[in-house]
Amino acid sequence: MELIFLGTGAGMPSKERNVTSVALNLMAERNSFWLFDCGEATQHQILHTQVKLGRIEKIFITHLHGDHLFGLPGLLGSRSMSGSTEPLTLYGPTGIKAFIESALSLSGSYLTYPLDIVEIQPGLVFKDAQIEVSTLPLTHGIASFGYRIEESDKPGTLDAARLIAEGITPGPLFQRLKSGESVTLDNGQIINGQDYIGPNQKGKSIAIFGDTTPTELGPQLAAGVDVMVHETTLEASMAEQANSRGHSTTHQAAELAKQAGVKKLIITHFSGRYDRDECQRLLAECRTIFPATDAAYDLGVFEI
């Protein structure tokens, strides 16, 4: 599982950064990619990555500002023109359905695949045996949401070395024991697989924030996650300006990461006033409060 940052800029693109989008690589887990936000030219950025349009299973939009949304109609159309027939589910705030239906209708576009559009409310928005996704509202002037992605715990590993030490020969029995079954050996001995399986392995967890000022629901959304992705539009000294425009600073993102007890913070959504070198200064500001911070950059890949 890894995050691929397709755009890390705020408001408008620059020579170094496209506007916001991040892909979650779930190829190993479910043979698909999930996309969070889809600013203008996201599909151009995708061309430089391992992301395949036909393998995008879900798209989650945090809010309806153009720098998070305007790449979506083009991407949906290109996915169709590439011949994909795999279903796609789109999640976003109220209004996302009208936006997409109008864009596709007025442009005479067609889709070769089923598209399900879900207008979200706070709480659980998706769950299956592998992953669940929940959302909470943020504070940004228009409806803006953060998404929490939690992978189900995985079964513990079979202690093969212990079984072999006890004289049990590797083979088909091991697979049954790994499934937790009880098996009877040729000598009549009964072996309970549960006795040889280690504790469950904790699933991965991620919190991806949309644009927001500091909000009281932030610690709940990010509590204890492995990775928190949060905007740091401006430096710490510009808090009044950032907050008045519905955004956060370096120190505010880092304080949240510390309060929520996350393992890693990845900062993104940088104002165009900062080039890549200056973003290192923003990173340093975060690290004074929360050392386990990295700065995203376009086409950057971060393993979870």
Judge contact between 150 and 123, C-beta under 8 A: no
Q: Both 63 and 33 in a single domain? A: yes
Q: Both 210 and 284 in a single domain? A: yes
Token pair listed for 189: 């001995």
In whole angstroms, what is the distance from residue 76 CA to residue 90 CA?
10
- Ranges of H-type helices in the chain: 27-30, 42-46, 72-81, 96-106, 160-165, 172-178, 218-222, 239-244, 250-260, 276-287
Write down the pLDDT at residue 154. 82
Cβ burial 212-242 (10 Å sphere, 16+ → b, else e): bbbbeebbebbeebbbbbbbbbbbbeebeeb
Q: Both 113 and 46 in a single domain? A: yes
- Asked whether residue 176 carries a pLDDT value surpassing 90, the answer given is no
Q: Both 294 and 209 in a single domain? A: yes
Here the CATH number for the domain that contains residue 144 is: 3.60.15.10
- Gyration radius of the chain over CA positions: 22
Catalytic residue among 37, 67, 226, 298: 67
Q: Both 180 and 265 in a single domain? A: no
Q: Both 180 and 93 in a single domain? A: no
Is 158 strand, coil or helix?
Answer: strand
Token pair 């995203």 in the structure block, residue: 296
List beta partners, residue 123.
135
How many Cβ atoms sit within 10 Å of the Cβ of residue 118?
15
CA 33 to chain centre: 10
Q: Both 32 and 180 in a single domain? A: no
Residue 211: HSE in the Cβ half-sphere, 13 Å Cα cutoff: 30
Q: Both 294 and 190 in a single domain? A: no
Domain boundaries, position 57: 2-154+203-303
Q: Band of the pLDDT at 75, cuts 50, 70, 90?
A: very high
Q: Both 40 and 183 in a single domain? A: no
Catalytic residue list contains 67: yes
Judge contact between 39 and 68, C-beta under 8 A: yes
- Return the percentage of the chain with pLDDT > 90, whole number: 83
User: Can you give the pTM of this predicted structure?
Assistant: 0.90
Q: Both 97 and 186 in a single domain? A: no
Q: What is the pLDDT averaged over residues 208-233?
A: 97
Q: Both 185 and 50 in a single domain? A: no
Stretch (H or E) spanning 35: strand 32-36
Q: Band of the pLDDT at 188, cuts 50, 70, 90?
A: confident
Q: Band of the pLDDT at 150, cuts 50, 70, 90?
A: very high
Number of domains into which the chain is organized: 2
Which residues, at least 6 apart from 33, have a Cβ–Cβ distance to it below 8 Å? 23, 24, 25, 26, 27, 51, 52, 55, 56, 57
Q: Both 135 and 224 in a single domain? A: yes
